[in-house]
Structure 1
Amino acid sequence: MLGAFTRVFTSLVKTRAPAVRFSSSLHAFRGSELPLRCMEPLMLLRPLAPVEPAPTPVEEMLADSVMRKRRLKMKKHKLRKRRKRQKAEKRKQSQGK
């Protein structure tokens, strides 16, 4: 099955669109200039297995790790804030003596 597909694909790749010179007025191929044979395999291919959405446990694990990161970040933020406040209090007390 795969060998047949590669043979068809290579034969289609070898057949190219007509050569077009690019000038300032023409920047890309128009859709009508592309040969229709290149578009056929896309219509003929059928999926071998039904397409299923990604499993949800992976998403839950990612959300869990994000929550853990946010919790740690908040913990660090609160610690820095507390230390800053304590440092200011110590300065205030040392100046008052």
Structure 2
Amino acid sequence: MLVKQLVKQGLLFRNAAAITRAAYHDGGLKPSTMNDLPIPSGDWQEQYSRQNSKYNAVLILGVLTLVGTISIAKTSGLIELNYAPPKSLD
């Protein structure tokens, strides 16, 4: 009943049109040029060294975590690496 009255008065269609127009963008964007790119500043070697030292720390931490995990799993008997034949068949 409410929908019929809204359709009869035209409110439903007018609001739908207004909502649709509100989401329209006219595309007034200008194309990007080389002047819009950031200009490098500072010494690249210092920034590279700092970033590389962080990456090396993450790499060392990852390798240590992997070695620690494998050694804990090996000593607990959870895995067998099969690098030698077993001492017994049981």
What range is the shorter-chain TM-score in?
0.3 to 0.5
Larger relative helix fraction:
1
TM-score of the superposed pair, with normalisation by structure 2: 0.42
Q: Higher relative contact order at CA 8 Å, sep ≥6: structure 1 or structure 2? A: 1
